[in-house]
Amino acid sequence: MYRYALKIEYNGAPYVGWQRQIGLATVQGVIEDALAKVEPRAHKIAAAGRTDGGVHALGQVAHCDMERDWDPFRLSEALNFHMKPNPVAVVDCAPVGPEFHARFSAQERRYQFRILVRRAPATHQAGLVWQVKKPLDLDAMRAGARHLIGQHDFTTFRSTICQAATPVKTVDRIDISAVETLGGLEVHLDVRARSFLHNQVRSFVGTLERVGAGSLTPDDVKVMRDARDRQACGPVSPPHGLYLAHVDYPVDPFAR
C-alpha cells in the first residue's frame, strides 16, 4: 500500500460535519466516495480534525492508502474531478511514509474565526463569516483572551457531548486582528493548540465577542474559566465563521 497526505479545502455549509455518517452528507463521505471511483473498493481516510457541521477548512489534512503508486498530481486531479460539484477540493497531495498519520502525527492545529462587523447584511460573505452589527473593542477582547492561553481546565468552554478524556488542554496562542475589506471590517481570531475540545473555539469566540461588545469584562473570562462549569460559558458562536486553517507536523509533508 502507498500512503498519501491530502491538503483539503472545503465549504462546510452543505455538510453535517467531517465525519462520515450513514445517509448524511459529510466531507469524509465525499472524499471516500471519490477514492472509490479512482480505486474501486472501500476506503477509510483519517483527518487531522473532525470539524462540525457548517465549519469550513482551508488546510484540513487527511491521509489515504492506495494500492497503486500514484503520481500525487494525478491523484489530486482525479479526486477533484470525481468530487464535482461538491465544494471540496484537494489543494495538495504528497506521498508519505507508513508512519505518518494525519491525526496522531499533528503537533499543532490552527483555527481561524472570521467576524464581519457591519450593519448592512452580508452578501458575498454570507455563510462564510459571523456578522455582528456593533463595533468590537479589540483591546478588551485581547485582554480577555489572555485568560485562555496556557494549560487550563476548560470545562466551561467544552460541549456537554464532548468525548475527550480530559477537559485540560493547552492553548498556545490567541491572536486577534482586524482587516479592512470591501465588505466591511473583519475581525479575525486565530487560535492555536495541539488539540481542542468539542466546541472549544466557538465557545471562546462567543465569549470574547461579548467582551468586545461590552457585555462582559476581560476579567469575567477568568471567572468563567475558573468556574469549570458549562453553564458559566458565554454564547457559542455559529459555525459558519470558523475555519480549520492549518495543521503543523514535525516534518511538513507538503514541503517541496
Residues facing 9 on adjacent strands? 89
The whole-number pLDDT of residue 256 equals 79
Establish how many alpha carbons lie within 13 A of residue 25's alpha carbon, considering only the half-sphere containing its beta carbon.
11
The whole-number pLDDT of residue 173 equals 98
Average pLDDT over residues 197-204: 96
Q: Which amino acid is at 88?
A: V
One fold for 2-105 and 108-246: yes
The whole-number pLDDT of residue 191 equals 98
Backbone angles phi, psi at 171, to 5 degrees: -95, 120
The whole-number pLDDT of residue 181 equals 81
Checking if the pLDDT of 158 tops 80, the result is yes
Query: Could you tell me if 189 and 174 are in contact, meaning their C-beta atoms sit under 8 angstroms apart?
Result: yes
- Residue tagged active-site, from 33, 52, 219, 229: 52
Checking if the pLDDT of 124 tops 80, the result is yes
pTM (two decimals):
0.95
The whole-number pLDDT of residue 155 equals 97
Domain extents for the chain?
Answer: 2-105, 108-246
Q: What angle do CA 51, 54, 58 make, to 5 degrees?
A: 60
Checking if the pLDDT of 182 tops 80, the result is no
| Residue 65: active-site member | no
Q: Which amino acid is at 164?
A: A
Per-residue pLDDT tens for 15-62? Answer: 999 999 999 999 999 999 999 999 999 999 999 999 999 999 999 999
Q: To which residue does cell 455563510 refer?
A: 127
Q: Cα–Cα distances in Å, from 23 out to 20, 29, 32, 39, 122?
A: 9, 10, 14, 22, 32
Checking if the pLDDT of 183 tops 80, the result is no
Average pLDDT over residues 193-215: 97
Percent of the chain scoring above 70 in pLDDT: 100
Checking if the pLDDT of 174 tops 80, the result is yes
* CATH code at 2-105: 3.30.70.580
Select from 3.30.70.660, 3.40.50.2300, 3.30.360.10, 3.40.50.720 the CATH code of 108-246.
Answer: 3.30.70.660
The whole-number pLDDT of residue 33 equals 98
Q: Rounded to an integer, what distance in angstroms lies between the CA atom of residue 152 and that of residue 240?
A: 27
Average pLDDT over residues 100-110: 98
